[in-house]
Structures are given as C-alpha cells and as structure tokens.
Amino acid sequence: MRFKLQFIFIDHILRIFLLLLAVLFTLILVLFWFFRMDITAKGEGKVICAEWEDVKPEIDGIIKNMEVIEGQEIKKGELLFVLEDRERKLETQSSLQKIVEIKKAISTIKQNISIRKQNVSSSIDEAKASLSGAQAGFRIMEKGPKDEEINLAQRSIKRAGQQVEKAVLDFDRMEKAFSLKLVSRQELDNSSHQKNIAQTDLALAKDQLALLLNRYDKDQQDTARAILEKQKAILEKAIARRKEIEILGQELIAAQKGLITEEKRMEALTKKLMLTQVTAPISGIIMTYDTKHLEGKAVSMGEVVLKIGGMNEYLIECKISEKDFPLVKPGQQARVTMKPFPRGEYKLFSAIVATTGTDSTSGGPSAGIGIEEKINALMNGPQALTENYYPVTLKLEKPYYILLFGNRYEVKPGFSAQVQIIVENERIATLLFKRVLRIKGKLTWDNIHL
C-alpha cells in the first residue's frame, strides 16, 4: 500500500512536471512567434558637428593672445584671438599725424591764395588806372595843343600889346605934361609903372604861348611814351602775379590728392588693425585642440587657425565591420550611447543612418569573430583575424542632453559613442529559422521571403 501511494505521488509529480514543460514550451513558441527581435550592426565612433567654420586670419601676423580654449562655447562676434598689432598701431599713428600735417598745409595754402588774390587784384586795378592816365597823356602829346588854346593865347598877347601901346602913349603924355609942370612927379612915376606892368603882361602872354607850343614838342612826346611803356610794364607785372596764384593752386591740388591718398592708406591701416582682432563668424563650440600653444605662432593670411563647430546638429562618424556593412542602409534607425557619461547614467540616444562609406580602413581583431574564423586563424596565422571597417555617418536626433537627479549632461563634439544600427527587425522564430537554413546552405537572401 505504501509503495502504491509513492507511485501515485510520483505519477502526479511527473504529470505536473510535464504540464509545466508543455506550458513553458507553449510560452516559448508564443514568444518566438509573436515577439520581434532587433538584429544590429555594432560600431564605435565619435560625435562631430554637422556644420563647422574654419577661422582664418585675413592678414599675416603673430598670434599675440588666444582668448578661447578647446570645447568652449562662443557666440557670433566674440573675440577669438588677437594678432600682434604694435607695428600696425605705429603705422596708423604715423599716418594720422601725416594727415594732420597735410590738412594744416592745405589751410596755409588756401590762406596764401586768398591774400595773393586780394593783393594781385588791387595791384592790377592800380596798374590799369595808371595805364589809362598814361595813355590819355600820350594821346594829348601826340595831338598837340588845341586850336582854342592857341587862339586864347594869341588873344591874350594881342590884348596885352594893346595895353602896352596905351600905357606907352599915356607915359609920353605924362612926360610932356611934367615938362610943362602940369603933373607931379608922382603921377609921372605911376604912368611909368603902368607901362612896365603892361609890358610884363605882354611878355607873360608870349611866354605862355611859347610854353603851350613847347609842351607838345618831341621831347615831351618821348617822355609821355616812356611813361606809357612803364605803366604797361607795371600792368604786365601785376598780371604776371596771377601765375603765383596758379602755382599755389597746383600746390593745393597736389596737397589735396596727397590727403586723399593718405586717408585711403589710413583707412587700409585701420582695417588691418581691426583685422588683428579675429572674432567668431558663427556661434558654436571651439573644436581645435590645445589652443594656448598657438600663442606666439606666426600665421599667414587664409591659414586655418581654429575650427568652430555649429551646435544646431550633430553627426556620428563610426566604423562598421565588413561583415555587417552590407546590411547597413541609409535611413535605418540606430541606438547610441555616449561613453563620457557616467556608467550608471547611460542614455540611449536615437540616430538615423545618413550615409555609408565605400573606403575601407584596416582595423584590429574583431570581438565578434566566430568559431570558423578562429579555426582559420589557428591554421593560417593571426593575420587572418584582421578585418576591414567601413565608415558610416549617422544623424543624431535631438535632444542632445539628459537630465538626471538635477544634473544636466550635454553631448559635446568629440564624445566617443557606441552605435547599434538596427539592420533587421523580425519575429524570433523567423530569425532562428533563417539561421538554421543558412547554416545548412539551403537559404540565401534572394530566395527567402517570410
């Protein structure tokens, strides 16, 4: 009886065990049939900026001060570095001083021109007036005395002659009367005096006529001609002084041209001086390693000194082994983890395959080598373990940070990343079936459709 009870107990236990096995097998079948599994291509890469700008100085120089460091976030227009500017400052100050001197010289020339114009204008006016007088006098000398003047002088002589005749006749009468003692001595003297006056007036009238005639003789004409020529020479000399004004005008034009040239030079020097301060062309992050060692370095115009990466979009450049590369296609989803984040604070970021490369680079031994490859390596040597890797670029999707326990962890260019590209997503049963058939060689990618 006791043995029978033990047998019944064991029977129940076996039944329960078989039932549990059946349930477990059913659950496994359901899991394999209804649940899907991702097949991924793994790789490692680095975060880079989708857009970046090369910072190049527009002039030659030596870097005096570097104001930024690697990884620093900067805004557009922020100062990046300063080139040595001592010589350019000296040149700018020298040019500025020269401009001041030229402006002073221009002001002096303008004042001299104004004074010369006034003096020359006054001299010309005086010379013209004197010349007009000399010309009038010469014309009078050439024409000689007027008939009216001669007639007037002759009438004066005739009248004076008549006065002399009358005075002589009166004097003769007075002498006779004096001899007869009819007049006094005083009356006789008065008559004699009147005769002398009349004779003197006659002589003066004749002298005036002679003087009038002598005034227009050849010597007087020569003198008038000489005065005329002298006044002409004075006028020509006064007019010639206008050339002094023209010369000053030419000096003024030359000074003004020199001022324009120096101002252009000053503008170029000022621009070059401003170019010694190199600012950020865009907002972003400094991607150049160890920027401080660049201080004191001589750089040429157009030489790349810094790289600034834009922070609007990030890419991931990674390498995929040649075994998985044929499965990678643009547009596939990927999961990304950032190595610099603390181990316990990993976050899966999303990414999309943007491009797949064609150039392979030789890598080291692969961690995913199968048993066949290992056997082949034992037979042919360790060089058989090396395989090629192909570049793949992924577009990292936003947000580019995680918030955890009040801390904000941001993705930065240069971070190392682990990438899992989802190349397949099918039922577990289908994947196992494909693997079994593929091992037996009965299935290829061209003749299976599940």
Task: State the DSSP code for 150.
Answer: H
Task: State the DSSP code for 293.
Answer: G
CA distance 23 to 410: 48
Q: What is the pLDDT of residue 362?
A: 40
CA atoms within 13 Å, Cβ hemisphere of 152: 8
CB 309 within 8 A of CB 285: yes
What one-character-per-residue DSSP string does 67-124 give?
---TT-EE-TT-EEEEE--HHHHHHHHHHHHHHHHHHHHHHHHHHHHHHHHHHHHHHH
Q: What residue ranges define each of the domains in the chain, with the CATH number in brackets?
A: 35-50+313-440 (2.40.30.170), 54-84+276-299 (2.40.50.100), 92-251 (1.10.287)
CA distance 106 to 259: 9
Q: What is the pLDDT of residue 178?
A: 77
CA distance 151 to 142: 19
Question: Which residues are bridge partners to 389 per DSSP?
Answer: 321, 361
Q: What is the pLDDT of residue 375?
A: 40
Task: Pick the closest to residue 423 from 321, 317, 316 (CA basis).
Answer: 321
Cβ contacts of residue 49 below 8 Å, gap of 6+?
284, 285, 287, 309, 310, 311, 313, 314, 315, 413
Strands (DSSP E) contained in 224-360 are 277-279, 284-286, 298-299, 306-309, 314-321, 333-338, 349-356
CB 256 within 8 A of CB 65: no
List per-residue pLDDT tens for the chain, 450 residues long. Answer: 555 566 676 767 777 877 787 778 777 766 655 565 667 888 889 988 888 889 999 888 889 999 999 888 899 999 999 998 888 888 888 999 999 999 999 999 999 888 888 888 888 888 888 888 877 777 776 666 666 777 777 788 888 888 888 888 888 888 887 787 777 888 878 888 888 888 888 888 777 777 766 666 666 777 777 888 888 888 888 888 788 888 888 999 999 999 999 999 999 888 888 888 899 998 888 888 888 888 889 999 989 999 898 888 899 999 998 888 888 889 988 988 888 776 544 567 889 999 887 544 444 334 344 434 444 444 455 444 457 888 999 999 888 887 777 778 788 888 888 888 888 766 655 656 555 555 545 445 554 444
- The distance in angstroms from the start CA to the end CA of the chain is 58
Question: What is the chain's length?
Answer: 450
